[in-house]
């Protein structure tokens, strides 16, 4: 039987993060901070809301407060893991008691952070979790003559810079981290767009068309191929 929870495909730079925190004066700054670091952030106020989001959407990392209304963070973590969820979880705790930390780790959390904390430390913990769970951790991605520098936010083809808007960059980065894998328009919406967006499969088709034009290839010459009836993939040139 398939799990009702959706497992994550991790990315090192641009990550989709679920922050489960009922204190808005904390969740807001966390969202703003991680957004500035090029992450896509979703918020949940309660354990029930977190479970609902995890049942539908894919995330690369979960920041989960231990004490949230209704279902506690411990219970959310247990349910997620028992249903096969593998997304890394960073547990936030208000106390430094070893028993509380031990309970979080036993429930399936990968790491914990005690409040109050600096947002820089939160970022460092998230990066560490992503490195641990990702297959591609380089800051520069290469597919044939195409180069994407994650840190400099720069794309070049045959040495010539290609100017992309942030969403185009994020979509291309996702494709380059998963070469030769086919993704439906709906899957791309889940991975690169926020769940509350008004974007549709038509939006994906529009961005694919723009990317193809900017990358200088159309039809059979394009790196981004359409797999009819299935979705899209970035086709990496065969070696040798």
- Report angle CA 34, 22, 101 to the nearest 5 degrees: 80
Confirm whether 89 is domain-assigned.
Answer: yes
Ordered mean pLDDT values, 10 residues apiece, the chain (240 residues): 42 76 93 89 93 88 90 91 87 76 81 89 87 60 88 87 89 87 85 74 89 76 86 77
63 domain residue, yes or no: yes
Residue 58 counted as domain residue: yes
Q: What is the pLDDT of residue 211?
A: 92
Residue among 139, 138, 148 at smallest CA distance from 169: 148
State the Cα–Cα distance between residues 113 and 117, nearest whole angstrom: 7
Among 83, 118, 133, give the residue marking a domain's end.
Answer: 133
**Can you give the residue range of the structural domain that contains 121?**
16-133
- The reply to whether 144 and 35 lie within a common domain is no
In a domain? residue 5: no
Q: CA-CA distances (angstroms) from residue 133 to 10, 70, 113, 127, 129?
A: 6, 30, 19, 10, 6
CA-wise closest residue to 17 among 33, 50, 39, 36: 39
What is the reported pLDDT for 116?
A: 87
DSSP3 helix / strand / coil % (the chain, rounded to 5): 40, 20, 40
pTM above 0.85, yes or no: no
Q: What is the spatial distance between Cα 63 and Cα 21, in angstroms, rounded to a whole number?
A: 8
Whether residues 186 and 164 fall in one domain: yes
pLDDT at 147: 92
pLDDT at 8: 41
CATH number, domain of 147, equals 1.10.10.10
Asked if 123 and 190 sit in the same domain, the reply is no
Q: Please name which of 39, 43, 50 lies closest in space to residue 25, comparing C-alpha atoms.
A: 43
Predicted local distance difference test score (pLDDT) of residue 221? 67
Calpha distance 187→221 (Å, rounded): 24
Same domain, residue pair 129 and 144: no
Instruction: Count the neighbouring beta carbons within 10 Å of the beta carbon of residue 164.
Output: 20
For position 42, which CATH number holds?
3.40.50.2300
- Are 92 and 156 found together in one domain? no
- Confirm whether 240 is domain-assigned: no
| Tally of structural domains, the chain | 2
Q: How far apart are CA 116 and CA 114, in angstroms?
A: 6
Looking at residue 2, its pLDDT comes to 40
The residue count for the chain:
240
**7 part of a folded domain:** no
In a shared domain, residues 98 and 178: no
Same domain assignment for residues 120 and 146: no
Of the residues 116, 133, 150, the one at which a domain ends: 133
Clarify whether residues 173 and 229 are in a common domain: yes
Judge if 128 and 187 occupy the same domain: no
Same domain, 60 and 110: yes
129 and 166 belong to one structural domain: no
Domain assignment of residue 6, yes or no: no
d(CA 175, CA 222): 13
Tell how strand 89-93 and strand 61-65 pair up.
parallel
How far apart CA 142 and CA 175 sit, in angstroms, is: 11
Is 155 part of any domain? Answer: yes
Same domain, 42 and 103: yes
Which of 111, 133, 155 is where one domain is finished?
A: 133
């Amino acid at each position: 039987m398939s799990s009702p929870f959706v497992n994550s495909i991790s990315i090192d730079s641009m990550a989709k993060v679920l922050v489960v925190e009922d204190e808005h004066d904390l969740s807001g700054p966390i969202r703003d901070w991680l957004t500035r670091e090029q992450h896509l952030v979703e918020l949940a106020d309660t354990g029930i809301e977190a479970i609902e989001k995890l049942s539908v959407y894919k995330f690369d990392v979960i920041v989960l407060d231990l004490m949230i209304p209704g279902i506690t963070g411990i219970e959310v973590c247990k349910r997620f893991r028992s249903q096969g969820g593998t997304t890394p979880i960073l547990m936030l705790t208000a106390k430094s008691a070893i028993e509380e930390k031990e309970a979080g780790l036993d429930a399936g959390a990968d790491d914990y952070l005690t409040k109050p904390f600096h947002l820089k430390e939160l970022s460092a913990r998230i990066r560490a979790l992503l490195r641990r769970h990702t297959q591609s951790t380089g800051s520069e991605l290469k597919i044939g003559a195409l180069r994407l520098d994650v840190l400099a936010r720069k794309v070049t083809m045959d040495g010539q810079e290609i100017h992309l808007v942030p969403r185009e960059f994020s979509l291309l980065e996702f494709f380059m981290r998963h070469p030769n894998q086919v993704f439906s328009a709906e899957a791309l919406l889940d991975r690169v767009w926020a769940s509350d967006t008004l974007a549709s499969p038509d939006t994906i088709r529009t961005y694919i068309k723009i990317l193809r034009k900017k990358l200088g290839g159309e039809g059979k010459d394009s790196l981004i191929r359409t797999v009819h009836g299935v979705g899209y993939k970035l086709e990496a040139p065969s070696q040798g």
